[in-house]
């Protein structure tokens, strides 16, 4: 006769064996349900239930598992490991929490937005100016996406000589938030830090764009030491990552346009620069010429003044000379006496019978001395 297996175990042995079985059977199980009884203990431990119309299951995790602020009634997809705790009973140890359904995603984004807004992540005062144009760009995108192709096409058409460092990431799906976050962190730690970080993705449904509404990506964008430009190709709802970025563009092409001036425009500006250079040089030459002319004029007028002065001095000296001329004295009635062509100024030089010539103002007479009388 076959006997039914009979297992007898101690309590701890039972817990241990059950956990082994649970691990084997339910490794990585994902449970979807409505959130209830959420509570956080010591800012670290998180307890909550997921429920549906008929059942409730307890979960246990850490705050690091939370995708952002949550609210009772939200639909969650929770990956975890069911476990029977040796003291506290059954719960599922959380490995990953994601939101399920558009409604919950939207609501979670609203809650997260309100929280991050309160923390100041979206403050206009935090926004930094982007270098224009940057030399080195850090680009985060999916290599296969139209967004990537558009961005590269437009930037190549607009500007030259750029260095674009690129990290290929998934921009949707479960792995996207972590990949985008790590790409942002990688650029911030890279030895050749780019001057601007560009995160781009084409448009899509709310669920497609969910990565850009996660707390993880939003905080990474806000924390980036490199100024950020985020462009998610949709116009209606602006993602949280865009709100946290220093700058946002409406599409990846628009991002390329915002980053760089158009080289056609710059080249036509160079012609203006060339003519500014020429007119600058010309005006300097004109100015120098004018200066030279005024210097030469000054010199000439100085010479004329000097010449006049000299002329005046000569005129006054000539007047003096004229005044002192003996001819003038003779006009007043004086006379000069010459003996043997030598002027005589003393009576001692003359004797009786000496022949003398007397020069008067209007003529000459010859005479002979009759007598000499000395004073």
Partner 1 sequence: MADKDEFNYLEKSQQLDNIIASLQKPDNDIDSAIKNYEDGKKIIKEIEEYLTKAENKIKKLKSLK
Residues that bind partner 1 (CB under 8 A): 131-133, 135, 143, 152, 155-156, 159-169, 179, 182-183, 185-186, 189-190, 192, 263, 266-267, 270, 273-274, 276-278, 280-281, 283-285, 287-288
Give 184 or 243: the residue with its C-beta nearer to partner 1.
184
Give 104 or 224: the residue with its C-beta nearer to partner 1.
224
Give 87 or 267: the residue with its C-beta nearer to partner 1.
267
Q: What's the CA dihedral at 156, 157, 158, 161 to 10 degrees?
A: 40
Give 34 or 168: the residue with its C-beta nearer to partner 1.
168
Residues paired with 247 in a beta bridge: 229
Q: How far is the CB of 64 from partner 1 (least distance, A)?
A: 16
Are 332 and 326 in contact by the 8 Å Cβ rule? The answer is: no
DSSP sequence for 173-215? STTHHHHHHHHHHHHHH-SS--SEEEEEE----TTTTGGGGSH
- In 3D space, the residue among 219, 244, 220 whose CA is nearest the CA of residue 230 turns out to be 244
Q: How far is the CB of 114 from partner 1 (least distance, A)?
A: 30
Give 59 or 151: the residue with its C-beta nearer to partner 1.
151
Cα–Cα separations (whole angstroms), residue 68 to 95, 183, 184: 15, 20, 19
Q: How far is the CB of 129 from partner 1 (least distance, A)?
A: 13
Neighbours of 66 (CB within 10 A): 17
CA-CA-CA-CA torsion sign (150, 152, 153, 156): positive
Output the six-digit token pair for 12: 């701890």
Q: How far is the CB of 2 from partner 1 (least distance, A)?
A: 56
Q: How far is the CB of 163 from partner 1 (least distance, A)?
A: 5
Q: How far is the CB of 257 from partner 1 (least distance, A)?
A: 15
Cα–Cα separations (whole angstroms), residue 83 to 21, 51, 283: 10, 18, 88
Q: How far is the CB of 165 from partner 1 (least distance, A)?
A: 5
- In 3D space, the residue among 57, 58, 35 whose CA is nearest the CA of residue 47 turns out to be 58
- In 3D space, the residue among 140, 144, 67, 137 whose CA is nearest the CA of residue 100 turns out to be 67
Cα–Cα separations (whole angstroms), residue 129 to 43, 132, 167: 36, 9, 23
Give 107 or 219: the residue with its C-beta nearer to partner 1.
219
Give 30 or 285: the residue with its C-beta nearer to partner 1.
285
Q: How far is the CB of 221 from partner 1 (least distance, A)?
A: 16
Neighbours of 282 (CB within 10 A): 10
Give 14 or 165: the residue with its C-beta nearer to partner 1.
165
Q: How many CA atoms lie within 13 A of 204 on its CB side?
A: 20
Alpha-carbon span 121 to 108, nearest angstrom? 17
Q: How far is the CB of 287 from partner 1 (least distance, A)?
A: 6
3-state secondary structure at position 355: strand
Give 195 or 208: the residue with its C-beta nearer to partner 1.
195
Alpha-carbon span 115 to 107, nearest angstrom? 12
């Amino acid at each position: 006769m076959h006997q039914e297996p009979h297992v007898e175990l101690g309590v701890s042995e039972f817990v241990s064996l059950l956990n082994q079985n649970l691990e084997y059977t339910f490794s990585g199980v994902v449970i979807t349900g409505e959130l209830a009884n959420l509570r956080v203990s010591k800012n670290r431990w998180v307890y909550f239930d997921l429920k549906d119309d008929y059942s409730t299951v307890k979960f246990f995790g850490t705050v690091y598992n939370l995708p952002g602020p949550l609210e009772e009634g939200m639909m969650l997809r929770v990956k975890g490991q069911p476990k029977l705790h040796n003291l506290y009973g059954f719960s599922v140890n959380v490995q990953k929490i994601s939101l399920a359904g558009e409604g919950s995603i939207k609501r979670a984004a609203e809650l997260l937005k309100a929280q991050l807004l309160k923390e100041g992540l979206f403050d206009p005062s935090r926004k930094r100016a982007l270098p224009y144009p940057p030399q080195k760009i850090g680009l985060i995108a999916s290599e296969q996406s139209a967004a990537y192709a558009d961005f590269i096409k437009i930037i190549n058409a607009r500007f030259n000589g750029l260095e674009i460092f690129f990290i290929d990431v998934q921009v949707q799906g479960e792995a996207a938030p972590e990949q985008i976050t790590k790409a942002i962190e990688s650029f911030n730690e890279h030895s050749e830090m780019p001057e601007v970080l560009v995160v781009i993705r084409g448009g899509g449904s709310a669920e497609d764009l969910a990565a850009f509404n996660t707390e993880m990506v939003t905080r990474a964008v806000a924390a980036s030491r490199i100024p950020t430009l985020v462009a998610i190709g949709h116009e209606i709802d602006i993602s949280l990552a865009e709100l946290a970025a220093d700058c946002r563009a409406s599409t990846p092409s628009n991002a390329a346009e915002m980053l760089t001036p158009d080289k056609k425009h710059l080249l036509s500006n160079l012609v203006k620069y060339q003519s500014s250079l020429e007119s600058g040089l010309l005006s300097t030459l004109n100015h120098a010429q004018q200066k030279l002319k005024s210097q030469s004029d000054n010199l000439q007028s100085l010479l004329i003044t000097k010449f006049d002065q000299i002329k005046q001095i000569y005129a006054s000296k000539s007047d003096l000379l004229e005044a002192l001329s003996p001819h003038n004295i003779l006009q007043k009635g004086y006379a000069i006496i010459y003996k043997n062509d030598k002027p005589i100024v003393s009576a001692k030089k003359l004797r009786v019978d000496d022949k003398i010539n007397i020069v008067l103002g209007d003529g000459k007479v010859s005479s002979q001395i009759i007598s000499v009388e000395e004073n």
